[in-house]
Chain A
Amino acid sequence: MSTAAIELREVTKQYRFFTLDKVSLRLEKGLVMGLVGPNGAGKTTTMRILMGLVQPDAGEVEVLGCRIPEEQVRAKWDTGYVGDEMRLFSSATLKWHLDFVRSMFPGWDEAYAGTLLKRFHLRPEQRVKGLSRGEEAKALLLLALARKPKLLVLDEPTSGLDPVARQEVISELMEVMQDEERSILFSSHNTYEVERISDRITFIDRGRVIDSDDKEVFLERWRRVSLGVPDGVTLPTLPGVIDVARSGRVAVVTANAFDPALLPAYEAAGATVHDVQRMTLEEIFVANVMSKRKERGE
């Protein structure tokens, strides 16, 4: 039995116009993984497979040591899942939802639920149909968090929220992360959010995992180097460099495995190093996606 909170091995799911292609990823217990990808990359499909709502055509899935979909019910007792498209019952009140979930989970933390109600400015007696999108998203998160699950699977939980609501949700998640036993798989378009809360980051594009590593390793190994390149100088092809964009006498080199030895190598070829910049996660994500698509000839 796996000690990982989540493990997918070579998971494939084929639809008419989309294929999740041999996706493998592993999230250790106590860590937060950000799943980043453009629209239609396969983030939601991956999460629905984890929750047993969609069955893969091939591959193996384990959540908290339970085989999915066979043992999904056992896994779900300890897993809180919040999806972007998920909604509560519009005709019922938030209090009814709280009572409903409380009656099901012996580990429900009433005091914490009360704290979250205040922090999120939610009124239990309000009907769901009267809640804004942001309030409903916070209510969904509250209902998942107060169960005190060992694993949180959050599919774009801040999508469609205004900046204040987004900040409230992210702050709460950062507090949840203090619990070292709890694991979180978090998908978002917003790389700034992912960078703030994730320990590990997985990039997914067009149904394939294109890169997965610790956040610090990502930020450390990706660099953008600005070079002055006199006429007649040809830049050498160096390991770890995935893109060279040249415009006149200036070239911008993107490296996904930056090594300081690159700089003297370019200088030896006749170029001048102007600047070496760290890249933001968004820049890394875009560069990664573009280079992998180029590699595959897409």
Chain B
Amino acid sequence: MSTANGSVAWRLVVKDLYLHRWLVVVTLASGIASLLVSGIDKADNVRTGPNLGLLLFITTVVAFGIFVPMTGILKERQDRSQLWVLSLPISPRGYAQAKVWASLIAFLVPWLLLTGIVIVAETLAGRSGGLGVFLVMMTFFLAAFCLLVALVVVTMSEAWAIAGILASNVAVTVFLTKVLTLPGIAGGSGFTPRILTVLALELALIAVALGLALTLPARKKDFV
């Protein structure tokens, strides 16, 4: 029976990925387009292409990180289709875990592809010095996403989700203006000790967020 349970949970993950498919495609297209824009360097003083491309790229990743938990988890509850899913042979705990894994996989598909494209492109162009900073930034977005997923799956509340989105938007601004400009990170070549420290902190944050998201919902007495 446990295999059957796992099979149902896996089908729920696949179901969510299917329902997210267009969002993933649009995110990938937008991400690639913004990377192309960032490559247009007219050597003007304001570096219009790289700046606009970076802004579009960050907006794409951050927006996708908000859309996935909002449409995949919260909307399913608000639309009452959650009740139908829970009529299938799955426990509320299994359901919540399937939601977390599905959200994570959906986010990781464009995240990995876009990160990979940048790493390959920069390496081929002989500009691999900034990859450490880039990875710090991408891992921050992944951590912010995991925190939002944990908040949504634990609270199942629109008010909390909106508060989380606002907090993560503030955090992105603080991160870009304060953390990425720290000595040892800004203009850092390769993986400096400070970059590695920030990366380790981000990975720890991801582990904590996922741990909470996978365990806390099981403690709830009422799921609908």
Q: A interface vs B, CB < 8 Å?
A: 48, 51-55, 69, 72-74, 76-77, 80-83, 85-92, 100-101, 103-104, 140, 144
Contacts and interface: CB of A to CB of B under 8 A. Distances in A.
Contact of A86 (B1, B5, B80): B80
A90 B1 CA distance: 31
Which are the 3 A-B pairs with shortest beta-carbon distances?
Answer: A81-B87, A87-B80, A76-B89
Nearest to A83: B83
A144 B94 CA distance: 20
B19 A86 contact: no
A76 B87 contact: yes
Contact of B92 (A52, A81, A85, A101): A52
25 contacts: A48-B224, A52-B91, A53-B223, A54-B221, A54-B222, A54-B223, A73-B89, A74-B89, A76-B88, A77-B4, A77-B89, A80-B87, A83-B83, A83-B87, A85-B83, A86-B80, A87-B80, A87-B81, A87-B84, A88-B81, A90-B81, A100-B11, A101-B88, A104-B89, A140-B84
Contacts of B92: 52-53
Contact of A90 (B79, B88, B89, B224): B79
Nearest to A89: B81
A76 B4 CA distance: 12
B47 interface: no
B37 interface: no
Contacts of B91: 52, 69, 72-73
B161 to A, nearest CB: 20
Contact of B94 (A73, A83, A101): A73
Interface string B85-123: 011111110100000000000000000000000000000
B8 interface: yes
Nearest to A45: B222
Contact of B1 (A51, A73, A80, A81): A73
B83 to A, nearest CB: 4
A146 B223 CA distance: 26
Given A72-B91, A104-B88, A53 B222 contact: yes
Contacts of A55: 221-222
A171 B109 CA distance: 48
Contact of B87 (A51, A54, A90, A91): A51
Interface string B52-94: 0000000000000000000000001001110110111111101
A273 B7 CA distance: 68
Interface string B7-19: 1100100010001
Nearest to A82: B87
Residue of B8, B19, B83, B86 contacting most chain A CB atoms (<10 Å): B83
B86 A53 contact: yes
A53 B82 CA distance: 11
Contacts of B80: 85-87
Given A87-B80, A91-B19, A51 B86 contact: yes
A77 B89 CA distance: 5
Residue of B1, B11, B80, B89 contacting most chain A CB atoms (<10 Å): B89
